[in-house]
Structure 1
Amino acid sequence: MKRLFAFICLFVVAGCNLFEPTYSEGSFPTTVVNLGEVNSAYDDYNSTSHVVGGVMALVFSSKRGGRTDFDFIHESLNTLFDLKGGKFSFDNHPYGGLDVVAEQSTLTWATYVVNTPANELGPYIRSYEHDLLSADVYSNYNHHGEYMMLFASDRTGNLDIYLTHNYQDSVKSVNGSSSPLSNKNFTAPVSIPFLNSTADDAYPTFDQTNSSIYFTSNRDGSFAIYKAPLPTINPNELHRQLPKLTNVAIERVSELSSSADDKCPFISDNTLVFTSNRAGGFGGYDLYYSKWDGSRWSAPVNFGADINTSYDEYRPILCNLQQFSNQLMIFSSNRPGGKGGFDLYRVGIPK
């Protein structure tokens, strides 16, 4: 009888586990949520992100501490979806993947090099190891923790686009250290003259093939989205060649631009997101998206009232994380209910 009772108990326990919900992949919540501890009582906006696994390196502009100008801040974020219980968690305490946190830590050095008493805005990060170079090139961690950062700054008066990087031509070490992150300091920022004008030029982003740079500029009056087609450049030469390019044909992207202000383009795969105060929105700046069909961009679509408000929604970025059925969009907004000024928010959107 005791053996029968024990067997029944074991079956009941096992049965409970059998009927627990399980998920094949995660899903980001589709309700807009404030990033919480990442934000401050001051303006926090204009972010970019580098993702490895479930760890995100978020770099954004902030006036925290009562600054009069925007400086870059680097935060590490942790994303997790429990496939067994369906619980989603998102915080700035990356207790898992500490090797990834170490890999992304060099981005803090980038902020030290880039920040000035002027405004630093619209950062854009590309990892050599994960985004730019093929597997055979970055084997053995040769380019582990190496990044190229494009950004805008008004250090000379108007907003211009600059570049900094910590690419290493060969593996180097400091004081005999064998760490793959040794000697990964960032270079002094240099401007990219072919993108800049006497007006404001900002928010650069590569297309999905790294063959063009899109950015925003008010060189023709209002802000519009422009495209700069690039010549064929070896990815490990981008940081050297971009500042030297001349005679690049800059074109206004008519499908994406309007008579209003269209800003902050960001491309992920075949999707471009941006912000605009064009007619037909919900008030202030709204977020829009467009799809690339192989030859042109589709007519921009407003993200709707579930994401946009009568206040300003600004600088959207898209983050693709592994094992999620949708993708994460992070943006900034000065809507009520935040910590103060502009705050950073997140929301899940369809891929």
Structure 2
Amino acid sequence: MLNAQGIVTPKGQRLYSRAQEQIRLHRNEEAAGLLEKCIREAPHFTDAYLALGMLYCDTRQFSRAADVFRQASTACPACTQAFALPLARTLCQAQQYEHASSVLDQWAKPAVLHPAMKAEYERIRQNIQFGKYAVNARRTDTLVNMGPRINSQYDEYFPSISHDDSTLVFTRRTNGVDEDFYIAQRDSCGGWFIARDMGSPPNSGMQEGAQMLSADGHYLFFMRCGNRSENGWEAGGCDLYFSFTKDGGWSQPVPFGATINTPAYEGMPSLSSDNKELYFVSDRPGGYGGKDLWMSRFEDGLWQVPVNLGPEVNTPFDETAPFIASDNQTLYFASDGHPGLGGNDVFYSRKKQGKWQRPENMGYPFNSVFDDVSLCLSADGRKGYLASNRNGGLGNMDLYEAKIPEAARPEPYTYVFGIAYDSLDKRRLNYAQIEWRDAETGEKLYHYQSNRGDASYMASVSLNRKYSLHVYRVGYADYNDTVSFTTTHVQPPDTLNFPLLDFNYSPPLHDTLLARFYFLRSNVLLNDSDQVQLKAMIAPYLDQPHTEFFVNGYTDDSGTPAINEELSYARARTVTDLLGSLGVSDDKIHTQGWADANPIAPNDTEEHRQQNRRVELVLRKP
């Protein structure tokens, strides 16, 4: 039998077919034995060499894989070209960098390379150069396996740690198929209790993975795979979801909208500490090849169209598992496209003047020739948790703990915790908006919100910087202050509460409620009579100087926090757009969605709920 890959006897073909069946059944030793027999029977059968070499790579036996590819080049001189790159790559993964470099030097590289082969050649060449440097450079601390209470015979990856370092949530893949979330608590000695299934919700019969806890512990962002949508384009494959704390547990998962989720792959979310920037992985059109890192900002109650992080971060290969540090300026991620030690390495990039800088490798032996992925940091930025399939684990992919090299740590920052409350009756006030600006330049740096439950907030802010604070909430006078922090406090964080003064007590400005407009359930448009009323109502004020209009949108309490916030913004924007069309300039209109804050009636009947589904138009003049 003559095959395009060499002369193959019927016996050789039978051995190769049996080996492929054993590989499918994950019987690697049996498959390797059959492929070795096949090669002895048909020494020019290049497919057999390739299958055996890849089998050894998959089982992390890189030196044996290199021996197979070297043997193939010798046994089949006409096929030497086909094995040059696999041989150089496996020699690199076996940390035989000089030999790998020699293979590339001796390779009769064609004058014109296919773009994919050219990218692979450049990647191997860069990995050789980096590997020579990395193994001789000052070493970082070695990773420590987290042990049998966390790791198992199955795959564990995507760790996320709570702010107080007491709770670990991670993804476990059992039987090579089912992905679910597991949770572990620290014991009194600083170790870990045995991890347990988080249960439903958020787990389900589908594949949940790559989760991330928000800094305040109220949200869980994650990836769910196997999704399909009725219209065929709003969701597909892997998409992003979130759950929020509810009644002592987690809510049913809620998918992100079509702005984030597409028929392409979306997964591995990471949320900034101010809950305003969402980093994730996608292979949607507009990237640089493979899987790329993308970011979407939350503005005006909506997640905006995602933007690609650009060619400094993304490569023609895969960038995955982003983690944005609490300084909001340092991004960690995994990549097999930037110069590394082989497989996936962990990198970090810093944002300067709004642009991400060229990534840096975390170094050896923090990274290895194996796959090192899904790094997350402790609250103080000094310790990391990540997954690796390096030798010595309990399963294929295990969780490890390591010190973060000093050069790779986030910029110095501190955590600030507090509540917004009524300064007179001490009631806690949710949905208070908290803006942090640079006191010298006025640049807007952070935007937090007191949460729906206990009206608390958790902020992460850089040290040694002077901030001007502006806190505002419907029905209350604005709160302004100037603060700075010079020392890191994580456990416990710095405390900064905001007492807000009710307008009815001592309003600093004259505010007049001009009108309320009510909406049917889920509706965001004004009816014709409301539009006529609005035009007539503001006509006397259009030519008056120093007047401002505050447009405040509200919902009832029947929706989720995210849906209510989006809906209240949409209603407010309807009135804002009409004001603009009547000639009111943008700088005189202040638009805010307040979700279900400040109900004017109890949410106990449909009639009362409709009173709360409203937009209030307030006139402010000196």
Q: TM-score, normalised by structure 2?
A: 0.38
Q: Distance in 1 between matches of 2:221 and 2:204?
A: 15
Percent identity reads 27
Q: Go from structure 1 to structure 2 and tell me whether the alpha carbon gap of 1:189 and 1:67 turns closer, same or farther (over 3 Å shift).
A: same
Q: Distance in 1 between matches of 2:158 and 2:219?
A: 17
Q: Go from structure 1 to structure 2 and tell me whether the alpha carbon gap of 1:306 and 1:67 turns closer, same or farther (over 3 Å shift).
A: closer
Aligned with 1:260 (options 307, 310, 317): 317
Q: Distance in 1 between matches of 2:266 and 2:147?
A: 31
Q: Go from structure 1 to structure 2 and tell me whether the alpha carbon gap of 1:30 and 1:160 turns closer, same or farther (over 3 Å shift).
A: same
Aligned with 1:225 (options 271, 290, 293): 293
Q: Go from structure 1 to structure 2 and tell me whether the alpha carbon gap of 1:78 and 1:278 turns closer, same or farther (over 3 Å shift).
A: farther
Q: Distance in 2 between matches of 1:219 and 1:77?
A: 39
Query: What do residues 46-99 of structure 1 show as CA deviations (whole Å, max 9, x unaligned)?
Result: 1111131xx4211111124x36211110011359xxxxxxxxx752049xxxxx
Aligned with 2:168 (options 58, 62, 82): 58
Residue 40 of structure 1 deviates from its aligned partner by 0.3
Q: Distance in 2 between matches of 1:72 and 1:49?
A: 13
Query: 1:39 is matched with which residue?
Result: 151
Mark the runs of 5 or more structure 2 residues left unpaired by the alignment: 1-139, 228-235, 410-622
- Answer whether contact 1:215 1:225 (CA < 8 A) is retained: yes
Aligned with 2:307 (options 251, 257, 260): 251
- Answer whether contact 2:145 2:400 (CA < 8 A) is retained: yes
Query: 1:348 is matched with which residue?
Result: 403
Q: Distance in 1 between matches of 2:255 and 2:166?
A: 27
Aligned with 1:303 (options 337, 362, 372): 362
SS in 1 for 2:178: coil
Query: What do residues 184-237 of structure 1 show as CA deviations (whole Å, max 9, x unaligned)?
Result: 23211111022111111011112343322111101135100001122055xxxx
* 1:149 matches 2:220: yes
Query: 1:191 is matched with which residue?
Result: 255
Moved over 6 A (4+): none
Highest Rg: 1 or 2? 2
In proportion to residue count, which structure has more helix?
2
RMSD: 2.5
Q: Distance in 2 between matches of 1:302 and 1:122?
A: 22
Q: Go from structure 1 to structure 2 and tell me whether the alpha carbon gap of 1:348 and 1:232 turns closer, same or farther (over 3 Å shift).
A: farther
Mark the runs of 5 or more structure 1 residues left unpaired by the alignment: 1-28, 80-88, 95-104, 132-145, 168-182, 234-244
* 1:289 matches 2:348: yes
Query: 1:180 is matched with which residue?
Result: none
Residue 279 of structure 1 deviates from its aligned partner by 4.2
- Answer whether contact 1:277 1:284 (CA < 8 A) is retained: yes
Q: 1 or 2 for the larger relative contact order (CA 8 Å, sep ≥6)?
A: 1
Query: 1:68 is matched with which residue?
Result: 177
* 1:202 matches 2:202: no
How do 1:1-351 and structure 2 match up within 5 A?
A: 30-37=141-148, 38-52=150-164, 55-64=165-174, 66=175, 68-77=177-186, 90-93=190-193, 111-127=199-215, 131=216, 147-156=218-227, 158-167=237-246, 183-193=247-257, 194-220=259-285, 221-233=289-301, 245=302, 248-254=304-310, 255-268=312-325, 269=327, 270-321=329-380, 327-349=382-404, 350=406, 351=409
What is the aligned residue count?
Answer: 251
Q: Distance in 1 between matches of 2:250 and 2:338?
A: 42
